[in-house]
Amino acid sequence: MAPTNGRTAKRPPFGESFADVPAAELDEVAAALSEIEVDAGTQVVAMDTYGSGIYLIERGEAEVMAGNAMPVAAVLGPGDVFGEIALLLTGERIATVVARTPMRLRTLSNVEFSRIRERVPQFERSLRRLAVERAQ
């Protein structure tokens, strides 16, 4: 994974999970995001490792694999996020995510999330709702 130009305020495509989040909150989150590019086949996060932030897919696709057998549980694309369960609920990754295609990801570290958390309550509620749904 290689950082490209670091932080950028350009708003990425937030998915349906964030449809009810006010534009001002999405702009606040966008300003705190960093950008990275990953090659196809890159393992972005690994199951049972410490999670230190979330990822938003701006371009490309990723495969989510859970459990020891590692079947593909889901395919994620632009606007989808991952890493929210570790950030908000468990601290630990519950799945492995591998880039299916070259990807551009936007990342929100736990440090940046803590810094903006009070200013993005609806974003946090939407992220938490997604985490609880996926954790079940």
CATH number of the domain that residue 103 is part of: 2.60.120.10
State which residues form the domain around 119. Answer: 2-135
Residue with tokens 């937030």: 14
Per-residue confidence (pLDDT) for residue 58, from 0 to 100: 95
67 contact partners, CB below 8 Å, separation of at least 6: none
Q: Which ranges of the chain have pLDDT less than 50?
A: 2-5
pLDDT attached to residue 75: 92
Q: How many CB atoms lie within 10 A of CB 80?
A: 20
Count: domains in the chain: 1
Provide the whole-model pTM: 0.85
